[in-house]
Amino acid sequence: MWADYEQDLLAVEDRLLQFAGDANDYIRDVTSHIIRSGGKRLRPLLMVISSRLSGYSGPDMTLLSAVVEFIHTATLLHDDVVDHAEMRRGRPSANQVWGNQAAVLVGDYLYATALWMATGIHIHEINDVLTLACRKMSEGEVLELMLDNNLAAREEDYFNVVECKTAALTAGTCRMGAILGNLDPLRKKALEDFGYYIGMAFQVADDTLDYMAQKDRLGKTLGKDLSEGKMTLPLLHCLAHSPTPQREVLVQRIGQGEITDMHLGEVVGFMKTTGSLDFSLERAVSFMRKAKQSLDPFPDSLHKQNLLALSDFIIERDL
């Protein structure tokens, strides 16, 4: 799937480094550090396939692919400050190397640069979609912060956060592909829906894998969400379905900071008894199925097949 878009994605990398290099040395260093740290480039890939499925493969496809990755990168920089992160994808996070101040301000710079690049295309419909997605994302970040360590959090609060912080940008990304290709309103909506559901599936799967994945495969620390008090779906489900003594242990672990392997093993054990991991994965799979169904208005093609394969990958990557 990636192979079909290798040239497109290489052009996006060039564009990312070009815009990172366009600033002073310091911004370039911080930006290159986080850009080169091996993100999955999921959003550029969505932009590229959506554009090509819509019949567009001109320069604005590459530019907007870089834009959505820059916006995503900016939120990572701010997230790491907010979460006091020390590592990102197996390397020291930017805030660890350059300090919180640099991470906040370079994040602002990347975000501003991305919007300056995007509005330079001069398509109002693109601007409307992108700035609304950005607004929802930042609202989602605040909503997530409000839920941290919040034992009154409900599943619907969680899904609202995921919708804002993740699905808004993936939905907007796919819709921008359809806009570049001048599709009719029905297919624009179809691609937007695809992006929405794949974003939901991705985030719910990611939040579940935080309790399942093997540490060396993702370069992530297992149990990170628990130690940070993130009220994600498996934890909410487990809390709601735990008998009182088990619930009391869970409450103690939420936001505890350092989580030992033993503590984590115990919590994962609880989640197995309440079926919370299976429940969460099933929700991710359900969003994935809706993503696939959204593409029904499109006839079969290489690009449609690749979007369907991407949907499977979102779920199966680490299982």
Q: Does 142 engage in binding with a copy of itself (CB under 8 A)?
A: yes
* Closest separation in Å from C-beta 134 to a copy of itself: 4
Q: Please report the sign of the dihedral spanned by the C-alpha atoms of residue 121, residue 10, residue 209, residue 96.
A: negative
User: Contacting a copy of itself (CB under 8 A), which of 101, 182, 301, 305?
Assistant: 101
User: Contacting a copy of itself (CB under 8 A), which of 63, 76, 115, 284?
Assistant: 115
The site that binds a copy of itself (CB under 8 A) totals a number of residues, namely 39
Q: Does 286 engage in binding with a copy of itself (CB under 8 A)?
A: no
Give the binding range for a copy of itself (CB under 8 A) out of 85-93, 136-144, 171-179, 220-228.
Answer: 136-144
User: Contacting a copy of itself (CB under 8 A), which of 104, 212, 213, 251?
Assistant: 104
Nearer to a copy of itself, 27 or 180 (CB): 27
Nearer to a copy of itself, 78 or 88 (CB): 78
Give the binding range for a copy of itself (CB under 8 A) out of 24-32, 222-230, 243-251, 303-311.
Answer: 24-32
Contact status, residue 285 vs residue 315, Cβ threshold 8 Å? yes
Q: Does 26 engage in binding with a copy of itself (CB under 8 A)?
A: yes
How many Å apart are CA 176 and CA 124, to the nearest integer?
11
Q: How many CA atoms, within 13 angstroms, populate the side-chain half-sphere of residue 165?
A: 20
* Closest separation in Å from C-beta 94 to a copy of itself: 13
Find tokens 């997530």 and name the residue. Answer: 144
Nearer to a copy of itself, 122 or 299 (CB): 122
How many Å apart are CA 223 and CA 211, to the nearest integer?
6
Q: Does 152 engage in binding with a copy of itself (CB under 8 A)?
A: no
Contact status, residue 251 vs residue 151, Cβ threshold 8 Å? yes
202's tokens? 């991705």
Q: Does 146 engage in binding with a copy of itself (CB under 8 A)?
A: yes
Encoded amino acid at 289, one letter: R
Judged by CB under 8 A, the chain residues 185 through 224 that form the site for a copy of itself are: none
Q: Does 116 engage in binding with a copy of itself (CB under 8 A)?
A: yes
- Kindly list the residues in this chain that would bind a copy of itself in the complex (CB under 8 A): 23-24, 26-27, 75, 78, 81-82, 100-102, 104-106, 108-109, 111-113, 115-116, 119-120, 122, 124, 127-128, 131-132, 134-135, 137-139, 141-143, 145-146
